[in-house]
Amino acid sequence: MLRGVRRVEVTGLSLPVVREGDDLAELIVSAAEVHGVGLRSGDIVVVSQIVVSKSEGRVMPLASIEASTRAHRIARLTGKDPRHVEAILREAVDVLRVRADGLIITETRHGLVCANSGVDLSNVGENNVSLLPVDPDSSARRIRERIRELRGIEVGVIVSDSHGRPFRRGAVNVAIGCSGIEPVLDLRGSKDLYGRVLQSKQVCVADELASAAELVMGNADEGIPVAIIRGYRYRASEEGAAAIVRPREEDLFR
């Protein structure tokens, strides 16, 4: 291989079924060793929100949720379970769109604009819903600190979730939590091939890393909730994924 060639490797890790209270960092470190990839300083660990939510006890039985009048009304319109709708409404600060085909777009307490406030019926067994972590940046930081404690290494951690977007079909994996990595690189002021100074280039590398991770995480039934990304030189930062959320007043599209 030519010297200086840039190469990034993305490796998927399967985990045992995750339960509330599980030490996710320890499961990840063990899985990395069993899979023969190990973990090294400078690696990025991308963890799907569903296993973070499970380890943090963010799974609720539908039977424990009492649906409000508003939830019943939206449930009738969308064909959803009223208790599922109630969980969606509780996680939302704003309901942006409700559509008869079942789509509910909300803004979550984290500022994420996504379907169903990220409240999901998949991969949690019948009659349960999973909620997003309360503070995904803290979740990422705890996993990073615990990996440091267990193995004495410094990694970056991203908590990812699959989100739809306006204008383009299909969901892509994005970073809802992040620790140790500068999430948005500001290249303004750097120069192009001809020495021209760039005016407006900011790149959301945290979302690009999350998207790269989904290439090995694959489909829902395969149980690969973690990816190790090796070879990408990120800028260290204590800024979380909350910095990716565009404040309303800056947002051109609402």
Footprint (CB under 8 A) of a second copy, residues 138-177:
162, 165-174
Residue number, 64 or 190, with CB nearest to a second copy = 190
Q: Which stretch binds a second copy (CB under 8 A): 60-68, 129-137, 151-159, 238-246?
A: 238-246
Phi, psi of 230 (to 5 degrees): -125, 135
Q: Is 209 in the site for a second copy (CB under 8 A)?
A: yes
- Shortest distance (Å) from residue 149 CB to a second copy: 25
- Shortest distance (Å) from residue 11 CB to a second copy: 5
> How far, in Å, are 39, 142, 148, 149, 237 from residue 152 at the CA level?
10, 14, 4, 6, 18
Selected from 113, 129, 140, 181, the binder of a second copy by CB under 8 A is 113
Tell me, what DSSP letter sits at residue 122? T
Do residues 141 and 45 make contact, with C-beta atoms less than 8 angstroms apart?
Answer: no
Q: What would the two tokens of residue 57 be?
A: 């006890």
Q: Which stretch binds a second copy (CB under 8 A): 19-27, 112-120, 132-140, 145-153?
A: 112-120
Tally Cβ neighbours within 10 Å of residue 42. Answer: 16
Footprint (CB under 8 A) of a second copy, residues 173-202:
173-174, 183-185, 187, 190-194, 196, 198-202
Helix (H, G, I), strand (E, B) or coil at 65: coil
Residue number, 142 or 173, with CB nearest to a second copy = 173
- Shortest distance (Å) from residue 154 CB to a second copy: 19
Footprint (CB under 8 A) of a second copy, residues 218-237:
218-221, 223-224, 229, 232
Selected from 25, 45, 124, 226, the binder of a second copy by CB under 8 A is 124
Residue number, 57 or 125, with CB nearest to a second copy = 125
Selected from 5, 152, 189, 249, the binder of a second copy by CB under 8 A is 5
Instruction: Give buried/exposed letters for 159-181 (b at 16+ CB in 10 A, else e).
Output: bbbbbeeeeeeeeebbbbbbbbb
Footprint (CB under 8 A) of a second copy, residues 37-76:
37
- Shortest distance (Å) from residue 117 CB to a second copy: 14
Contacting residues for 115 by C-beta, under 8 A, at least 6 apart: 103, 104, 105, 106, 163, 164
Q: Which sign does the torsion angle of CA 15, 16, 19, 23 carry? A: negative
Phi, psi of 91 (to 5 degrees): -85, -10
HSE at residue 84, side-chain half, CA atoms within 13 A, is 22
Q: Which stretch binds a second copy (CB under 8 A): 61-69, 134-142, 143-151, 216-224?
A: 216-224
Tell me, what DSSP letter sits at residue 120? B
Q: Is 109 in the site for a second copy (CB under 8 A)?
A: no
Residue number, 150 or 245, with CB nearest to a second copy = 245
CA 55 to chain centre: 15
